[in-house]
Amino acid sequence: MLIMKRRDFVKKASIGAAGSAILAGCGSSEDEGGAAAVQTRPRINWRLTSSFPRALDTIYGAAEVLADRISKLTDGRFQIRSFQAGELVPYDQVLETVRKGTVPIGHSASYYFVGLNPALAFDCTVPFGLTARQYNAWMYYGDGLKLTREIFADFNILNFPGGNTGTQMGGWFRNQVNSLADLRGLRMRIPGLGGKVMDEMGVTVQVLAGGDIYPALERGTIDATEWSGPYDDEKLGFYQVAHNYYYPGWWEPGPGLSFYVNRKAWNALPSDYQAALEAAAAEANVGMMASYDAKNPAALARLLQNDVQLRKFPDDLMLEAERIARDLQEREAAADPSYRRIYESYSSWRKNSNRWFSTSELTYATFAFRHT
């Protein structure tokens, strides 16, 4: 417990250099500080295009948290109206739409857009990547925001951290997976980098959109599917047709969502509206994590009342997946210097923070969470 008077501190402490720890700024101009108490605040109306359906209320809800706060901060003068995936554009057109400025702001998961630039994955998550807390530290106080913004500059976009799900679950399996060998020939719905790793481990990877997964799992066209965590998974009802619920979702250890803002639209905002957007994004960021952390425990408890068995992925599978994931990333880095730059920042951040996170935080959690 920190208890000290000011005079105490100067006795011994080496005074910290950084007196002011401010979240990374992003181009807000200086306060004008003029004497006028009467000013003009423009009315601005934006549409926001989300990559998520409204029914996934936690992840979609971050856009509403953002819009509500910005409205309150500007006495209703800067209004943002949120649209769910498919209302304005499909979920995978959000980046392109904001790039063009057709819609000035979006909310998405940047790993949807690795086809445009593989390094965009680091704005969200990669297999065996950072946890939610490590990610926020890297984004706000490491090079994360700086480096991801360099990538987004190519798309005429300014990105802001805008939520996290925490470590997702590994998904729903009709049969048990007791070793790496059990993956061979398994038909699993898993997109993205996780799917690439699974493919190298012998899985027959299927990519199905949300609504097609349940019937495929029910009919046995697929043997397994991943999705998100208990609260979101429960809505899709997978527990009714596959009873083995595996963890951890090593391909999504702490997915960060992002708000995308078109740079031209950003530059046209008054500086206090820019500040409003930045502060509201930070609030949405902490709020989504808290919301998932509030809802997932109860959802998991409900799922466990439905013949669901919690199962841990076997060690040999985890180790092999980690090896393959690192190898995929190393190959990408060898082929692309701009990928290497952000990959190295991200990887060394992870490596350098492991010892600290493995001491107090992990040891306490292991002890405290044993009461299940």
Q: Which of residues 104-143 bind a copy of itself (CB under 8 A)?
A: 109, 111-112, 128, 131-134, 136-142
- Among residue numbers 44 through 83, which ones bind a copy of itself (CB under 8 A)? 52-59, 61-62, 64-65, 68-69, 71-77
Residue 125 amino acid letter? T
Q: Please select the residue that binds a copy of itself; options are 305, 307, 337, 369, rule is CB under 8 A.
A: 369
Q: Kindly state whether residue 219 participates in binding a copy of itself, applying the rule CB under 8 A.
A: no
Q: Are 82 and 312 in contact (CB under 8 A)?
A: no
Q: Please select the residue that binds a copy of itself; options are 212, 302, 328, 340, rule is CB under 8 A.
A: 212
Q: Which helix (H) or strand (E) holds 106?
A: strand 105-108
Q: Please select the residue that binds a copy of itself; options are 153, 290, 334, 335, rule is CB under 8 A.
A: 290
Q: Kindly state whether residue 307 participates in binding a copy of itself, applying the rule CB under 8 A.
A: no
SS3 309: strand
Q: Kindly state whether residue 232 participates in binding a copy of itself, applying the rule CB under 8 A.
A: yes
Q: Are 324 and 126 in contact (CB under 8 A)?
A: no
Q: Kindly state whether residue 153 participates in binding a copy of itself, applying the rule CB under 8 A.
A: no
Q: Are 288 and 62 in contact (CB under 8 A)?
A: yes
Q: Please select the residue that binds a copy of itself; options are 100, 264, 312, 331, rule is CB under 8 A.
A: 312
- The CA angle 15-16-19, to the nearest 5 degrees, is 115
Q: Please select the residue that binds a copy of itself; options are 27, 45, 81, 87, rule is CB under 8 A.
A: 87
Q: Please select the residue that binds a copy of itself; options are 20, 115, 185, 337, rule is CB under 8 A.
A: 20
- Shortest reach from residue 333's CB to a copy of itself, in Å: 18
Number of chain residues interacting with a copy of itself (CB under 8 A): 158
Q: Are 119 and 130 in contact (CB under 8 A)?
A: no
- Shortest reach from residue 47's CB to a copy of itself, in Å: 16
DSSP designation for 77: S
Contact window for a copy of itself (CB under 8 A) among 146-154, 179-187, 258-266, 300-308: 300-308
Q: How many CB atoms lie within 10 A of CB 32?
A: 10
- Among residue numbers 163 through 192, which ones bind a copy of itself (CB under 8 A)? 166-170, 190-192
Q: Kindly state whether residue 236 participates in binding a copy of itself, applying the rule CB under 8 A.
A: yes
Q: Are 130 and 350 in contact (CB under 8 A)?
A: yes
- Shortest reach from residue 145's CB to a copy of itself, in Å: 11
Q: Kindly state whether residue 305 participates in binding a copy of itself, applying the rule CB under 8 A.
A: no
Contact window for a copy of itself (CB under 8 A) among 115-123, 179-187, 295-303, 334-342: 295-303
Binding mask 329-358 for a copy of itself (x = CB under 8 A): ---------------------xxxxxxxxx
- Shortest reach from residue 80's CB to a copy of itself, in Å: 13
What are all long-range contacts of 145-154, with beta carbons under 8 Å and residues at least 24 apart? 145/24, 145/26, 146/24, 147/122, 147/341, 147/342, 147/345, 148/110, 148/120, 148/122, 148/123, 148/342, 149/26, 151/117, 151/119, 151/120, 151/123, 151/338, 151/342, 152/123, 152/260, 153/263, 154/117
Q: Name the pairing type of β-strands 309-312 and 105-108.
A: unpaired
- Shortest reach from residue 347's CB to a copy of itself, in Å: 11
Quote the CA–CA distance of 258 and 160 in Å, as a whole number. 5
Q: Please select the residue that binds a copy of itself; options are 44, 116, 201, 318, rule is CB under 8 A.
A: 318
Q: Are 346 and 144 in contact (CB under 8 A)?
A: yes
Residue 212 amino acid letter? D
Q: Kindly state whether residue 252 participates in binding a copy of itself, applying the rule CB under 8 A.
A: yes
